[in-house]
Structure 1
Amino acid sequence: MMLKKILSMGLALAFCGLASAGCAKGDSENKRTPITLPDYENMQSEPLMINGWLSPPPTTDAYREYKEAGFNYIFIMGQNAGAVGSEKMENALEVCDELGIKAFVDISRNLSAIDATIENYSKHPSFAGYNYDEPVIYRNTINMSDGIVDIAEKVKVMHEQYPTVEFLVNLNPSECVDLNWGTPKFTYAEYLDAQTTYINSIYKDSSLHNWLSCDSYPICNNQTSKHPYYLKTSWLQNLAYLAEIKRDSEVKLTTNFFIQSMPYGTPNGMYDRKPTYEDIRLQAYSLLAYGYDSISYFCYATPNAVGEFQDYQQAMIDRDGNKTDIYESGKAVNEELRSFEKVYRQFNSNWLGVCPVYGTNNTSEDEFYFNKSMDALANPLELKHLSGLKGFESDEDVIIGYMKDGSGNPGFMVVNYNDSSWNKKVNAKMNFGDYTQAQVYRRGKKSVVDLKNGILTLELEVGEGVFVIPCS
């Protein structure tokens, strides 16, 4: 079968010893010149942006609890925030001023709110800008949402008058392109091109964040299946679409993606699955493998039980304002990310791609041996293109995010990419050739590991990711 061919080729490359450029000096027959890595943890960098969708009540205590969970940005919206321009929303901005949280104000389907509020909101140090959720290219004649072309006209004028205000358009994922939007049909490539042409071009000469954002949720459920829990096939490719646009763009872009932090939808439906700590960290580390600048949680506070939300479905904070176990899970993941964000941020601006690796345990006797998520990637890297890494072996499926620091030193984000319900742990070996050590960041904590014959052995727990930098 095709998978067996791919697996065989991947393992052959892994064991044959791939040509490497990396940090080596001289040809392949000579030892490379040892290098000393920069002190990443003491270098200046912008913190990873971690956001929550649907804000808590605008009190100091509620927002302090939010900040204590590792969030530094917030989308002010939902039943707790009131309407744009309301006293409650003003209170929310004042609390963000007090606590040092940057805020986006949601104006989806309400572009006129810019003129009504921007002069006042711009006075708040916390005010980052506005966001608009899930428009398509042209005006949606079903729900009357503005189109990207309409939004761009307004944003262009806004940027000329208020050049310090950002605008974040959050896009639909690729699986939504064939839905009935009440507009002419379009491809996903045309949709992404509209975002970069109409919105990102406005900020091309600005020092502000030039946002490229999307949402798609991978933690899925199908109770009619023998194995009801699974990862959405299209999710990794959606991460790749934005990451590759950023990598290949002449304009500096800031990438954001939403991750699933609550069950939602119809009972026993596709997204009616409560995310665990392992599910949240799998999503977060996968975003880092794709070089993302920002991670947004859907949701932080729990929406009212209407529409796609049921009474029993809760987010990080329940409808009574109490912490849930999802809060503790999200907080734990954010603490891990914060612990090594300075290191990661020295690499992710030079993200080069992701290499998927099928595990040796994945044979035709294994019911889950065919990882559709990885097979769906349009432009995966091959192992031979990961400089500094001569070979890689794993018993379970992983993705390897490949990036470099400002001096060209390679870094690798290795993620156990398997649905958490299968409880698959990874045993992997990374062959770094004549490197003698590696810096390994696991759960955010650094260790320096001596390599035997250039080999680093990794054991990854369910949903875990580690960042590896070969050195010496």
Structure 2
Amino acid sequence: MRRKLICMLMAGSIALGALSAAGCGEKSENKPFPVYKDDKEMMIGGWDAPLPTLEDYRLAKEMGLTFMFLDDLFVKRGTQAYADVLGYCEQVGLKTIITLGNAATIESAAESWAADKTDYSKFPAVTAINYWDEPYFSNIARIAELTEEHVKKYGSEIDVFANLFPNSATGTFEGHTYNEYVGEYVDKVLAKVEEGHRYLSADIYPLDKKSTGESALRSNWLNCIETIAVQAKRVNAVPHFFLQATEHYTYRAVTEEDLRWQFYVYMAFGIKAFTYFTYRTSILEDFSNSCVDAQESGKKYPLYDYAKAVNREIHDFDHVYLNFDWNGTMPVLGTQSEQDYNLNFDGLNNPLAEVAALNGAQATQDALIGQFKDESGNDGLIVVNFTDPAYGLRNTVSLDFKNASKVRVYKKGVAYDYQVLENHFELELGVGEGVFMIPVK
């Protein structure tokens, strides 16, 4: 809270060099902007729980995580050691999502779950139970059964969670489209869950590497995000995605810019919850080091500090962003882009042709503009430099507002206020950068 207040005070007195250089005009002074209570927090979690010590869970909290998926690698469900870990989470202020299994292990996991007589509602840290990781289409009926059992036992005290495949796993849809697969989960599972306690999650990792070692962006990424976002909006569910954090298989290593970029691309589609895949270095082969070590307590890797910096920025304005509802995303082809098309843009089913608050927009490189409204009718925009951060491209974005005299720009968590001259505003986005903007008449 204290850092957020400091950031807001700084907004009136510190010039933002990149924006000023882009010719946005003078800073706006003594003009009202919407004020939002600091009572909302972005869900940011970790997959692969740390070593089972109080200090290791405190380290996770200090990275800016709000929850942890808790598997039974180090501690087994139903044991005192497991209860101790739930206590550690409570002490440091972390929520937990208990994880059962996937398509290969779920039946044995469900049996052990049925045999586990622990009442997890007695543990304040437990916020949800992840019943299934990456179900096939035909598994959704079984998740619906587990959900009915869950609701009878816990009601809405503990939420139901499951994580779906990405749109590239076509064989798991068993003859259906990705939209039908996601829709089946929404209609068969989330319909059984009380509104306000629904989550719609998927994993997709966008940053690949070619055989030459060069970075390659997966062309199906935005279609996957859009599908989850639209289906979540249909039933007022919280949309959640896993962030690519750990180098594994063909997915490349990431930098601080890559992490920041993923957040803003997802947020341009209204995504409201995230999990680092992975937090702890995986015990599986072909996984590189992640945020913390799997064997040495308290040992951090560089990714930990990258994530901590980005998480802090997100938390500095999450209470503002979370007051807005997403209403679509407009892709903008760059005037200086090497190609006159973008396969990710082409994959969108319902891209916006225009943004309600704008007469037009241009960008030197490809960009995304997410459109938002708060309950009072104020406009919000997420503007993202949609270029792979590995290629180091900056992006000048020009916005022509319909009727705005000033704009508040949240950049790296800090709010800066500017006058808008003749409804025209320009900003320069650095590598992997995005901003959240609130224009005011």
What interval of TM-score do these two structures reach, taking the shorter chain for normalisation? 0.7 to 0.9
Change (3 A) 1:118 1:128: farther
Task: Tell me how far apart the structure 2 counterparts of residues 135 and 434 of structure 1 sit (CA, whole Å).
Answer: 47
- Out of 291, 294, 300, the position equivalent to 2:273 is 294
Counting only pairs closer than 5 Å after superposition, residues 248-287 of structure 1 correspond to structure 2 as 249=234, 251-265=235-249, 270-271=250-251, 273-287=252-266
Task: Tell me how far apart the structure 2 counterparts of residues 275 and 82 of structure 1 sit (CA, whole Å).
Answer: 30
Task: Tell me how far apart the structure 2 counterparts of residues 93 and 165 of structure 1 sit (CA, whole Å).
Answer: 14
State the partner residue of 2:183.
193
Task: Tell me how far apart the structure 2 counterparts of residues 387 and 215 of structure 1 sit (CA, whole Å).
Answer: 30
Report the 3-state secondary structure (helix = DSSP H, G, I; strand = E; otherwise coil) of the residue aligned with 1:111: helix
Aligned residues: 401
Change (3 A) 1:387 1:186: closer
Report the 3-state secondary structure (helix = DSSP H, G, I; strand = E; otherwise coil) of the residue aligned with 2:65: coil
Counting only pairs closer than 5 Å after superposition, residues 309-458 of structure 1 correspond to structure 2 as 309-310=286-287, 313-319=288-294, 320-321=296-297, 322-347=299-324, 350-362=325-337, 366=338, 370-383=341-354, 386-458=355-427
Task: Tell me how far apart the structure 1 counterparts of residues 143 and 397 of structure 2 sit (CA, whole Å).
Answer: 47
Mapped contact 1:359–1:394 kept (Cα < 8 A): yes
Change (3 A) 1:417 1:133: same
Mapped contact 2:206–2:217 kept (Cα < 8 A): yes
Runs of 5+ consecutive residues of structure 1 not aligned to the other structure: 1-34, 139-146
Mapped contact 2:52–2:85 kept (Cα < 8 A): yes
Task: Tell me how far apart the structure 2 counterparts of residues 426 and 158 of structure 1 sit (CA, whole Å).
Answer: 48
Report the 3-state secondary structure (helix = DSSP H, G, I; strand = E; otherwise coil) of the residue aligned with 2:122: coil
State the percentage of identical aligned residues.
Answer: 31
Alignment deviations for residues 95-147 of structure 1 (CA, whole Å, 9 cap, x no partner): 01112211011101112343333633221000112102111122xxxxxxxx1
Offset of residue 369 of structure 1: 5.2
Alignment deviations for residues 339-389 of structure 1 (CA, whole Å, 9 cap, x no partner): 101110111xx2101100011002xxx2x5542212211111012xx1221
TM-score for both structures, normalised by structure 2: 0.87
Task: Tell me how far apart the structure 1 counterparts of residues 125 and 136 of structure 2 sit (CA, whole Å).
Answer: 29
Task: Tell me how far apart the structure 2 counterparts of residues 452 and 134 of structure 1 sit (CA, whole Å).
Answer: 50
Counting only pairs closer than 5 Å after superposition, residues 23-42 of structure 1 correspond to structure 2 as 36-40=32-36
State the partner residue of 1:210.
198
Alignment deviations for residues 268-288 of structure 1 (CA, whole Å, 9 cap, x no partner): xx21x1111111111111111
Corresponding letter in the other structure for 1:327:
Y
Mapped contact 2:360–2:399 kept (Cα < 8 A): yes
Report the 3-state secondary structure (helix = DSSP H, G, I; strand = E; otherwise coil) of the residue aligned with 1:285: helix
Corresponding letter in the other structure for 1:304:
I
Report the 3-state secondary structure (helix = DSSP H, G, I; strand = E; otherwise coil) of the residue aligned with 2:267: helix
State the partner residue of 2:28.
none
Mapped contact 2:183–2:231 kept (Cα < 8 A): no
Higher mean alpha-carbon deviation, 314-323 vs 101-110, is at 314-323
Offset of residue 442 of structure 1: 0.4
State the partner residue of 1:241.
227
Alignment deviations for residues 233-258 of structure 1 (CA, whole Å, 9 cap, x no partner): 111111100111122x2x32111111
Offset of residue 161 of structure 1: 2.2
Task: Tell me how far apart the structure 1 counterparts of residues 230 and 195 of structure 2 sit (CA, whole Å).
Answer: 21
Offset of residue 174 of structure 1: 0.8
Offset of residue 434 of structure 1: 3.6
Offset of residue 45 of structure 1: 3.9
Change (3 A) 1:340 1:261: same
Report the 3-state secondary structure (helix = DSSP H, G, I; strand = E; otherwise coil) of the residue aligned with 2:370: strand
State the partner residue of 1:107.
100
State the partner residue of 1:136.
136
Please state if 1:83 is matched with 2:60. Answer: no
Offset of residue 169 of structure 1: 0.7
Mapped contact 2:78–2:118 kept (Cα < 8 A): no
Report the 3-state secondary structure (helix = DSSP H, G, I; strand = E; otherwise coil) of the residue aligned with 1:119: coil
Report the 3-state secondary structure (helix = DSSP H, G, I; strand = E; otherwise coil) of the residue aligned with 1:252: coil
State the partner residue of 2:90.
97
Report the 3-state secondary structure (helix = DSSP H, G, I; strand = E; otherwise coil) of the residue aligned with 1:428: strand
Please state if 1:228 is matched with 2:214. Answer: yes
Task: Tell me how far apart the structure 2 counterparts of residues 215 and 300 of structure 1 sit (CA, whole Å).
Answer: 15
Mapped contact 2:47–2:275 kept (Cα < 8 A): yes
Task: Tell me how far apart the structure 2 counterparts of residues 296 and 381 of structure 1 sit (CA, whole Å).
Answer: 28
Report the 3-state secondary structure (helix = DSSP H, G, I; strand = E; otherwise coil) of the residue aligned with 1:112: helix
Change (3 A) 1:393 1:44: same
Mapped contact 1:433–1:455 kept (Cα < 8 A): no
Task: Tell me how far apart the structure 1 counterparts of residues 281 and 97 of structure 2 sit (CA, whole Å).
Answer: 18
Task: Tell me how far apart the structure 2 counterparts of residues 345 and 172 of structure 1 sit (CA, whole Å).
Answer: 26
Report the 3-state secondary structure (helix = DSSP H, G, I; strand = E; otherwise coil) of the residue aligned with 2:242: strand
Task: Tell me how far apart the structure 1 counterparts of residues 195 and 115 of structure 2 sit (CA, whole Å).
Answer: 25
Alignment deviations for residues 402-429 of structure 1 (CA, whole Å, 9 cap, x no partner): 1101111111000111111211101111
Task: Tell me how far apart the structure 2 counterparts of residues 357 and 370 of structure 1 sit (CA, whole Å).
Answer: 10
Offset of residue 44 of structure 1: 5.3
- Out of 145, 153, 156, the position equivalent to 1:153 is 145
Report the 3-state secondary structure (helix = DSSP H, G, I; strand = E; otherwise coil) of the residue aligned with 2:68: strand
Offset of residue 185 of structure 1: 3.3
Change (3 A) 1:186 1:435: closer
Report the 3-state secondary structure (helix = DSSP H, G, I; strand = E; otherwise coil) of the residue aligned with 2:146: helix
Offset of residue 192 of structure 1: 1.1
State the partner residue of 2:27.
none
